[in-house]
Amino acid sequence: MLMLSANFNGQAQISHNQLNNPSLSPDTLYFPFKDSIQLIVINSHDAYRRHGHWQDMMWPRGGSWFMYNPEEPPNAYIFRNRKGEITQVYNRSIQFSQNLPLRDTGYLNTNEISFDFIFDYTELLGNLKFFGPDHKEGLINLKGEVVAPAIYDRILRLYGYQSYTNKLMVVKDKQFGLLDSNAQVIFPPMYTKFKKADYVRSSQLVIDGENLKVFKDDRCGLISQEGEVLIDFQYDDIRLIHDSMYLALVTRPDEEVTQRGRSYLFTGYHVKACTVFDQHFQRITELEDYEYIMYNGIQQLIVKQKGKFGLLNHLGEVIIPLEYESLVPQDGVYHVRKAGKMGAFSLNGDLVLPCVFEQIQFYGPAIYTTKNGLVGVYNRNFELIADHQFERRHWDMGKYILTRPNGSEGFVMHEKDNTYYRSPEGKIIKL
């Protein structure tokens, strides 16, 4: 099968009349006996995919044979004992005699490595997917024994932080549960991935490399892969912050943004309260009745209360007082506005530029500020390099030209590793 796929792909650029259409007749794979039981696979699914990919190459650009032929046949799994007696058959309604009536197929003696090339097998942790009434999915082991009944809408591998886990997700009625690596039920389908979800995916459930953010009755909580509830279902969203803490958010329903039946939290303006949990899922602090809450990294929260912005740490302690008209993280500082004037705080909460400026612009190692209509220059240590004496600033050939009201000019030269200020009198100060 692998050789067939490789040869087929290698002929993609030759003329059409050199290509042979892969037959829809499946291969029949005979596996070694295991505990006196032999598995025989009628590999319909893989034959269908080969045929479909060949058809797609023949179709005009943008067309797809699969688009008009969506029904993919499952593999048939046949089990027989050493006497040649058929003991179990899955996914195929055929009356078998002692000799298998498979004369229209190709015969391949194979080994267990070939399981990797069976298209609808590879994600099922050593078991085979089979279909029951109403196309419900279940699992059988390599002896033909049912290890998970065919009662689920879907069975798929649970995708973790960056790779698949050793768990299986089972989906039923738009809710999911988990099976362990032995296909034993950890918890039945009872959670959804999204609020008001109309489908379930296995990706991006794991938010911290291990635990699952899930929804129950449209409320968000955190559970372990063993089903233990770590954070109760009281929130609209839970986010991992600082790699070791969790931010559980409560939103204002009247401003919640909804698309395609799911709710999104685009900005802090939708949040009115939050709870911060540590890595052991213990409450650190609770913030309530704010008009705005947004996590800004480094264990800090921008909040708004009674129309004024401030900054809190993850313990709820005030870092920047709630007395500013705006507070924006940018340029490695917090830009603030008070009484119409701009200033800046360091990330530690130290006032580094007072609220006396009409404008503040960071550019490379220089900070240009405008006060009473005149431009001054600071360095990144917030030291005043040139006081506010220039009425005009414009860019010219790698430098900012600074012009005084009397027409005399200085400039700030912006060169890599060599930015400096030259005053109109010729004094040079390196920034």
If you average pLDDT over residues 173-188, what whole number do you get? 93
Which of 215, 235, 255 is the endpoint of a domain?
235
User: Does residue 176 fall inside a structural domain?
Assistant: yes
User: Does residue 230 fall inside a structural domain?
Assistant: yes
- Cα–Cα distance between 123 and 128 in angstroms, integer? 9
Better-predicted residue by pLDDT, 372 or 100: 372
Asked whether residue 5 falls in the same domain as residue 81, the answer is yes
User: Does residue 263 fall inside a structural domain?
Assistant: no
Report the SS3 class of residue 124: coil
Round the average pLDDT of the chain to a whole number and report it: 82
Q: What is the pLDDT of residue 47?
A: 80
User: Does residue 13 fall inside a structural domain?
Assistant: yes
* Total domains in the fold of the chain: 2
Asked whether residue 117 falls in the same domain as residue 159, the answer is no
Q: What is the pLDDT of residues 153-166, one digit of tens each?
A: 999 888 876 777 88
Asked whether residue 163 falls in the same domain as residue 104, the answer is no
Asked whether residue 184 falls in the same domain as residue 115, the answer is no
Distance of CA 64 to the CA centre of its chain: 28
User: Does residue 280 fall inside a structural domain?
Assistant: no
- Cα–Cα distance between 10 and 278 in angstroms, integer? 54
pLDDT at 392 over 90: yes
Which of 97, 121, 145 is the endpoint of a domain?
121
- Cα–Cα distance between 309 and 296 in angstroms, integer? 14
For tokens 């009755």, name the residue.
217
User: Does residue 88 fall inside a structural domain?
Assistant: yes
For tokens 């506010």, name the residue.
388
The residue segments making up the domain with residue 207 are: 155-235
Report the SS3 class of residue 130: strand
Q: What is the CATH number of the domain that holds 225?
A: 2.40.10.480
For tokens 């006497």, name the residue.
83
The residues pairing with 249 across neighbouring beta strands, listed in sequence order, are 237, 274
pLDDT at 374 over 50: yes
pLDDT-based confidence at residue 139 (cuts at 50, 70, 90): very high
Percentage of the chain exceeding pLDDT 70? 79
Asked whether residue 5 falls in the same domain as residue 117, the answer is yes
Asked whether residue 47 falls in the same domain as residue 162, the answer is no
Q: Are 248 and 231 in contact (CB under 8 A)?
A: yes
User: Does residue 4 fall inside a structural domain?
Assistant: yes
Asked whether residue 102 falls in the same domain as residue 164, the answer is no
Report the SS3 class of residue 16: helix
Q: What is the pLDDT of residue 120?
A: 53
Q: What is the pLDDT of residues 46-63, one digit of tens each?
A: 788 888 888 777 766 666
Q: What are the backbone angles phi and psi of residue 113, rounded to the nearest 5°? A: -60, -30
End-to-end CA distance of the chain: 67
Can you read off the two tokens belonging to residue 302? 């921008």
Indicate the pTM of the whole model. 0.72
Which residues are CB-neighbours of 137 under 8 A, at least 6 positions away?
Answer: 129, 130, 131, 150, 152, 153, 154, 155
Identity at 80, one-letter amino acid code: R
If you average pLDDT over residues 387-396, what whole number do you get? 96
If you average pLDDT over residues 405-415, what whole number do you get? 95
Asked whether residue 96 falls in the same domain as residue 194, the answer is no
- Cα–Cα distance between 261 and 269 in angstroms, integer? 20
Q: Are 404 and 390 in contact (CB under 8 A)?
A: yes
Can you read off the two tokens belonging to residue 401? 């030209």
User: Does residue 260 fall inside a structural domain?
Assistant: no
Better-predicted residue by pLDDT, 61 or 80: 80
The CB density around residue 68, as the number of other CB atoms within 10 Å, is 9
- Cα–Cα distance between 429 and 385 in angstroms, integer? 7
Asked whether residue 112 falls in the same domain as residue 169, the answer is no
Asked whether residue 102 falls in the same domain as residue 163, the answer is no
Which of 195, 210, 235 is the endpoint of a domain?
235
Of 191, 100, 201, which Cα lies nearest the Cα of 157? 201
Asked whether residue 117 falls in the same domain as residue 160, the answer is no
Of 210, 132, 212, which Cα lies nearest the Cα of 177? 212
Asked whether residue 115 falls in the same domain as residue 185, the answer is no
pLDDT at 338 over 70: yes
Of 101-105, 346-350, 381-385, the least confident: 101-105
Q: What is the pLDDT of residue 63?
A: 66
